[in-house]
Structure 1
Amino acid sequence: MAPARRRGLAEEVADRIREAVFDGTYAPGAQLREVELSGDMDVSRGPVREALRLLEREGLVHCAWHRGTTVTTLSATDVEELDSLRGALEDLAVRQVVARASEEDLASLAKAAEMMERAVDAHEMVRCDIAFHDAVFAATGHQRLTDAWNGIRCQVHLFLLTRIGHSTEDYLGRIPREHRELVAALRARDAGTALDLFAVHRRLAVDVVRGTTQPG
């Protein structure tokens, strides 16, 4: 058997670029130039090129011949597909949490929701939102379901960045409130209410991105 590869420079470069996308340094549609990235990070262009390929597989960037690499801009179809898949995964996750989660798991969800109260800006709130949903899937005790969530996690993060790019009106106040309601329903092991609340939570964000409703 071939020797196992250690974590390489390309993965570290990918981590730094991903972080720059998530903190708003590179917004959706921003150009990512290999020469500039390699200079900024003091690495050769090879690891940068490989890092961009890794990020393309995650759906965070789009590489096009003669047009270079840009941070992914989600189309209406992208939003629809991502929302429908996320909904299917979260519906199963809610049922699993209601049926199987321990009190310790539910306490972890409550703690993740409480972290939102201390978010100081919209980008930090998006991180807290993703962390809450990480905790939901972790609480399912369903490894393949969690793996499926991890497969779209970065794209959901990008979607939420797109959402705050449209509007942040009442965002810092509204998101913690929504998640407190989600936790209460899960702690009550009320699957029907929890499913409805998760669906509303998703729909409100999608409607902001589509421009079909005003946040508030």
Structure 2
Amino acid sequence: MEVTPLRKAARRGLAEEAADRVREAIFAGHFPPGAPLREVELAASLEISRGSVREGLALLAREGLIHGGWHRPTTVVDVTAVDVEEVYSVRAALDRLAATTARAHATPENLAGLDTRVTELATAVRGRADGPRLLALDIAFHDQVYAAAGNARLTEAWHAVRSQVYLFQLQRISAGNEHYRARVVAEHRELATLIRDGEPARLARAAEDHVHSARRSLLTELRG
């Protein structure tokens, strides 16, 4: 079996590097949901030990991106309706809190960062960037919202589900991204505007609606 090419691991923390490279490959679509991840092949591709690969895979398992166990193969998580309902319900609560907290605490630099992310999204849409590029910018916008909120524990909670959100959104746009492409700029511009000076209750609803819209679209694709 041909091994998917991965960027060679730099010698910092090899487990962290292995996790980074495998995560990148998953998000690039080289390892789709349900795909097996074999330590021997990954170690050969990354040119590091199986032990470092094993530790890196353990990091990804804690992110909820892969699963495995004794006498069970390690695989990328499948995207099921149950998983989507659970992850997106958690994300809706987190995004609502992050947005309203950012509304109260964002600095001018934070607000400028949100505007920059929206501009990047608009430029990418006009340039017909592919779905994965739009998704990377989408997630970067939400990273900026959490940074603007200035709550370290809230950011940690976001990072606990971020990889799963990324994978699930990738699944959503891989099935057809025109609906996503048509809405992504307007939805994020609205959030940036409301975080700057919007009515808090309206902002809270918009943050939740943004997540629930994504959830409904993905569930439609899964059930289609």
Give me the TM-score of the superposition, normalised by structure 2: 0.85
Within a 5 Å distance, the mapping from 1:102-113 to structure 2 comes to 102-113=107-118
CA distance in 1, matches of 2:205, 2:166: 22
Q: Number of aligned pairs?
A: 209
Tell me what 1:58 maps to: 63
**Runs in 1 of length 4+ with deviation above 4 angstroms?**
none
Q: After superposition, give the CA deviation of every residue in 1:78-102 in whole Å (9 maximum; x if it has no partner).
A: 2112112111111111221222222
How far apart are residue 71 of structure 1 and its match? 0.9
**CA–CA separation in structure 1 for the residues paired with 2:39 and 2:69:** 13
CA–CA separation in structure 1 for the residues paired with 2:206 and 2:212: 10
Aligned to 1:124: 133
Q: Where does the alignment leave 5 or more consecutive residues of structure 1 unmatched?
A: 1-5
SS of residue in 1 equivalent to 2:67: strand
After superposition, the Cα gap between the structure-2 partners of 1:133 and 1:28, relative to the gap in structure 1 and judged at 3 Å, is same
Alignment of 1:1-216 (within 5 A): 7-119=12-124, 120-211=129-220
Q: CA RMSD in A?
A: 2.1
| Partner deviation per Cα, 1:4-60 (whole Å, 9 max, x = no partner) | xx9521111111001111122211111211222122112222211221111111111
Give the C-alpha shift of residue 148 in structure 1: 1.6
Instruction: State the alpha-carbon separation in 2 of the partners of residues 205 and 21 from structure 1.
Output: 20
Aligned to 2:5: none
Identity of aligned residues (%): 47
Which secondary structure state, in structure 1, belongs to the residue aligned with residue 178 of structure 2? Answer: coil
Q: Secondary structure at the match of 2:165?
A: helix
Q: Does the CA contact (< 8 Å) of 1:24 and 1:123 recur in 2?
A: no
Structure 1 residue 123, shift from structure 2 partner: 0.7
SS of the residue corresponding to residue 68 of structure 1 reads strand
- Matched residues in 2 for 1:93 and 1:72: separation? 26
Quick one: which amino acid aligns to residue 10 of structure 1?
Answer: A
Q: Comparing 167-176 with 147-156, which one deviates more in the overlay?
A: 167-176
Alpha-carbon distance between aligned partners in 2 of 1:108 and 1:190, rounded to the nearest angstrom: 20
State the distance in 2 between where 1:47 and 1:212 align: 37
Q: Is residue 16–residue 56 contact of structure 2 (8 Å, CA) maintained in 1?
A: yes
Give how far 1:147 is off.
Answer: 1.8
Moved more, 156-165 or 53-62: 156-165
The CA distance in 1 between the partners of 2:213 and 2:117, in whole Å, is 20
Please tell me whether the aligned partners of residues 130 and 157 of structure 1 are also in contact (alpha carbons under 8 angstroms): yes
